[in-house]
Amino acid sequence: MEGPSDLELKRRQLKNQMSTVQTRKQNAVCVRRAFKKYGTKSSPYIILDGLNMTVPKGTIYGLLGSSGCGKTTLLNCIVGRKRLNAGEIWVLGGTPGSRGSGVPGPRIGYMPQEVALYGEFTIRETLKYFGWIAGMKNKAIEEKLSFLVEFLMMPDADRQVKNLSGGQQRRVSLAAALVHEPELLILDEPTVGVDPLLRANIWNHLVQITKNGSTTVIITTHYIDETRQAHLIGLLRGGYLLAEESPSRLITQFNAQSLEDVFLKLSVIQNMGKRRRSSIAQGVAETITVPTGVVNEAATIDDEVCEISGEFGDNISIASRGRRVSISPDTTDIITPMEIPPDEEPPVKCSEYLKILKTNHMKALIWKNYLWMWRNIPVMAFIIGLPVLQTILFCLTVGHKPLGLNVAVVNNEIDFPDEKCELTPGCNSTRLSCNYLHFLQNRSINLLYYGTTEEAIHTVEKGAAWATVEIPANFSESLRNRIIRGRSVDEWDLDGSTVLVYQDKSNENIGTFLQRDFYYSLQSFFEDFAISCNYDPKVGRVPIRYEKFIYGEDSPDFTNFAAPGVLLTIIFFLAVALTSGSILLERNEGILERSLVNGITGTELLCSHLITQFTVMVFQTILALFVAFGIFELDQNGNIFLVAFLTILTGFCGMFFGFVVACCCENERSATYMAMGSFLPIVMLCGIIWPIEGMYPILKIVSFVLPLTKSTESLRCILAKGWDLTSATVYEGFIATLIWIMIFLTISILALKFKKG
């Protein structure tokens, strides 16, 4: 069939076109030359390919297409949750996301494909949440709830969503989109799992609410024939609309029995174009009666000729690329856009820019967060109790002196095994070795006696003891000679008064503790012996005297060294887990998207989490500090409020890091990797378990810029030295934490802003 010339065709399509601005304002939705792809640059996966779509105000628009053809993607772009790679979208007279457009916001009601509701909430609470977001009053919500429960045949409004069937949950989801009577309703497959009677009711309701022109509905469905009641349907295939027309006219034009037939015919025609009329397609095509002057004319348009600006696409779909089927405008059957005065974009006042948090949004979000906590008391008890548990475990397990260590003893001064080594005090004792071993035993060392050195060493080699102590046969006499003779003591007495130790030093901590025990026991034994002989005990001391310690104690333990870092790490990473977990949970269940479409902003979301999790963190901090300093009495010489303040500030820092994790990661798994991946380096590099002074020089620089380094140092100084904010080390910890909060906040906001779509 010979089609009209290119010029003729263009001219025809240019006829009766409205101005661009008018087009945008008179229609609820205007999509022009939309191009959207997923995947990478090298292997792009094109979803929308030059799509034009026009949804006049006051219409029901059925968006049809096979599974995976891009309907949800297109809807997401319309509601402003995804960005096109190219092209324009105008929704209710503004571009989605622009200030003053009201989109996303209460002008839209969005029912996503997935249920996207809080399972722990009741139907009433669900509608209250979405009603509050839209700025509704409780009374209005209750009225609407009664209507929707009846109309959508929902169960009792006080039943929790998680206890409803799949179909009932979808109806609650639909109710949540309808509750605030939005101007534009976007429903992604609302009738899935709904029985035919209710489906008919839903359609009747949609027809009803669009009657006066104030509401527009875009609906996707797999049941093509149910869209007979739609005013317009768009058939999406291959990245663009094969047709955009009223159902009755499509059926008439294509001389088809049903819309399914129309879709089939259009698909075959499209395939013919693509395959350059393969023999199979040709065969099918011959059986299809195509409306003269409608399809084939446009199907013959060359690629270049088809580049007609989408701005002229009112009421028709004009392919912008490739061979497209186009329906010519015909005023007889097409819905004429309502004569509604064009929406003026309201001028944005300066105060609007400053008002980044809306009261009703914050109220809904904070209420929702607390309600979620209330409904998940076991989870919350676990979250609040976890730092306490970890602190208890830390205080009970880390830094304490190992007790009951086995030491093999070969005491040649006694007749083993017949003689027992007993304490025999006095200057003339012939069993001084036993006195020394008694002091060792007093330091909780478990002595195992052996007859020969070989046997004792073998015990250590087997791992049954940590050291062998061998005492010479003439120990008592040699020791006395050593003291009495002083400088002139002979070699024999020097050797005879020396205790030999064969130690397993494979464990640094145990080895060091044992060496300290051997040394301190000998010191005590010697002083005791010197006193019994009326010698000055100082004679036997190492000539160094430790005066009163300026900070700390004579026997500092590792628990007190590690406690500040461990406390901050516990609070920091639990905040990371809690924040990123709750945001990702909301996001993966689609609830977050839904709230964002309803007008919640990223900033509001962050602030609401900040407020609710702050209360959780305060509990966590108070309990953890009480356990550490109240029950386990770790060193605390500073101001406890300063300690609590720094701990909570570090928790805030963790929350903001949690936001970054949630914003940057697609799912829980990658969030877990990111959190875990940062946990170990932070623990190792922030001077929590080992002094920074002992680190490799380059790593010291890295450590300096990490979030917990300065705060750990600061907390350590407050606790151990009692310093306050006048000390540079202390206030640097606070400043560094604040800087990290700012950094994480900026990254989160940027990620929220640019990661969309």
Ligand X SMILES: Nc1ncnc2c1ncn2[C@@H]1O[C@H](COP(=O)(O)OP(=O)(O)OP(=O)(O)O)[C@@H](O)[C@H]1O
Between 38 and 632, CB nearer to ligand X: 38
Give me the DSSP letters along 276-291.
TS-HHHHHHHHT--PP
CA distance 42 to 543: 76
Min dist. Cβ of residue 132 to ligand X (A): 29
SS3 content of the chain, % helix, strand, coil (to 5): 55, 10, 35
Stretch that binds ligand X, among 67-75, 123-131, 363-371, 400-408 (CB under 6 A): 67-75
Phi, psi of 544 (to 5 degrees): -145, 135
- Please give the torsion angle defined by the CA atoms of residues 352, 356, 358 and 364, in that order, rounded to the nearest 10 degrees: 160
Between 47 and 319, CB nearer to ligand X: 47
CA distance 341 to 623: 61
User: Counting contacts by CB under 6 A, is residue 73 touching ligand X?
Assistant: yes
User: Counting contacts by CB under 6 A, is residue 239 touching ligand X?
Assistant: no
Stretch that binds ligand X, among 63-71, 264-272, 274-282, 452-460 (CB under 6 A): 63-71
Between 65 and 564, CB nearer to ligand X: 65
User: Counting contacts by CB under 6 A, is residue 42 touching ligand X?
Assistant: no
Min dist. Cβ of residue 112 to ligand X (A): 10
Stretch that binds ligand X, among 70-78, 254-262, 366-374, 585-593 (CB under 6 A): 70-78
Min dist. Cβ of residue 68 to ligand X (A): 4
Question: The tokens of 34 are what?
Answer: 């939309």
Min dist. Cβ of residue 114 to ligand X (A): 10
Min dist. Cβ of residue 196 to ligand X (A): 20
Question: The tokens of 645 are what?
Answer: 């303040």
Pick from 68, 417, 691, 697 the residue near ligand X by CB under 6 A: 68
User: Counting contacts by CB under 6 A, is residue 650 touching ligand X?
Assistant: no
Question: The tokens of 371 are what?
Answer: 């309600």
Min dist. Cβ of residue 194 to ligand X (A): 16
Residue whose structure tokens are 């606790």: 719
Q: Which of residues 546-585 bind ligand X (CB under 6 A)?
A: none
User: Counting contacts by CB under 6 A, is residue 460 touching ligand X?
Assistant: no
Between 45 and 353, CB nearer to ligand X: 45
Between 47 and 308, CB nearer to ligand X: 47
Query: Which residue type occupies 565?
Result: G
Give the number of residues in contact with ligand X, rule: CB under 6 A.
Answer: 12
Between 236 and 567, CB nearer to ligand X: 236
Residues linked to residue 236 through DSSP beta bridges, in sequence order: 65, 241
CA distance 296 to 308: 17
CA distance 412 to 472: 5
Question: The tokens of 30 are what?
Answer: 């205007």
CA distance 218 to 31: 13
CA distance 511 to 503: 7
Cβ atoms 577, 659 nearer than 8 A: no
User: Counting contacts by CB under 6 A, is residue 694 touching ligand X?
Assistant: no
User: Counting contacts by CB under 6 A, is residue 72 touching ligand X?
Assistant: yes
User: Counting contacts by CB under 6 A, is residue 38 touching ligand X?
Assistant: yes
Cβ atoms 47, 73 nearer than 8 A: yes
User: Counting contacts by CB under 6 A, is residue 113 touching ligand X?
Assistant: yes
Question: The tokens of 484 are what?
Answer: 């009495």
CA distance 560 to 628: 10
Min dist. Cβ of residue 509 to ligand X (A): 51
Between 69 and 600, CB nearer to ligand X: 69
User: Counting contacts by CB under 6 A, is residue 47 touching ligand X?
Assistant: yes
User: Counting contacts by CB under 6 A, is residue 40 touching ligand X?
Assistant: no
Between 44 and 463, CB nearer to ligand X: 44
User: HSE-up of 745 (CA within 13 Å, CB side)?
Assistant: 15
DSSP-derived secondary structure letter, 680: H
Between 248 and 667, CB nearer to ligand X: 667
CA distance 514 to 443: 10
Q: Which of residues 596-615 bind ligand X (CB under 6 A)?
A: none
Phi, psi of 407 (to 5 degrees): -130, 125
Measured between its terminal Cα atoms, the distance across the chain in Å is 43
Min dist. Cβ of residue 113 to ligand X (A): 5
Between 219 and 294, CB nearer to ligand X: 219
Between 69 and 661, CB nearer to ligand X: 69
Give every strand in the sheet of 86-91, ordered side by side: 44-56, 27-39, 86-91
Between 67 and 257, CB nearer to ligand X: 67
Pick from 58, 62, 70, 104 the residue near ligand X by CB under 6 A: 70
Between 238 and 733, CB nearer to ligand X: 238
Cβ atoms 244, 279 nearer than 8 A: no
Between 218 and 409, CB nearer to ligand X: 218
β-pairing, 216-220 vs 60-65, is parallel
Min dist. Cβ of residue 220 to ligand X (A): 7
User: Counting contacts by CB under 6 A, is residue 173 touching ligand X?
Assistant: no
Is the N-terminal amide bond of 196 cis, ω within 30° of 0?
A: no
Between 73 and 709, CB nearer to ligand X: 73
User: Counting contacts by CB under 6 A, is residue 69 touching ligand X?
Assistant: yes
Stretch that binds ligand X, among 62-70, 99-107, 347-355, 600-608 (CB under 6 A): 62-70
Min dist. Cβ of residue 350 to ligand X (A): 37
Residue of 185, 247, 236 whose CA lies nearest to 210? 185
Stretch that binds ligand X, among 60-68, 450-458, 477-485, 722-730 (CB under 6 A): 60-68
Question: The tokens of 528 are what?
Answer: 């005791």
CA distance 474 to 492: 10
Tell me how long the chain is. 757
Min dist. Cβ of residue 65 to ligand X (A): 5
User: Counting contacts by CB under 6 A, is residue 71 touching ligand X?
Assistant: yes
Stretch that binds ligand X, among 68-76, 156-164, 554-562, 692-700 (CB under 6 A): 68-76
Host H or E run for residue 610: helix 602-625
Stretch that binds ligand X, among 64-72, 146-154, 241-249, 320-328 (CB under 6 A): 64-72
Q: Which of residues 406-445 bind ligand X (CB under 6 A)?
A: none
- Rg of the chain over Cα atoms, rounded to whole angstroms, equals 40
DSSP-derived secondary structure letter, 229: G
CA distance 217 to 58: 8
- Map residues 115-144 to x or -, x wherever contact with ligand X holds by CB under 6 A: ------------------------------
User: Counting contacts by CB under 6 A, is residue 65 touching ligand X?
Assistant: yes
Min dist. Cβ of residue 21 to ligand X (A): 29
Question: The tokens of 314 are what?
Answer: 């009112």
The three-state secondary structure class of 1 is coil
Interface ranges with ligand X (CB under 6 A): 38, 45, 47, 65, 67-73, 113
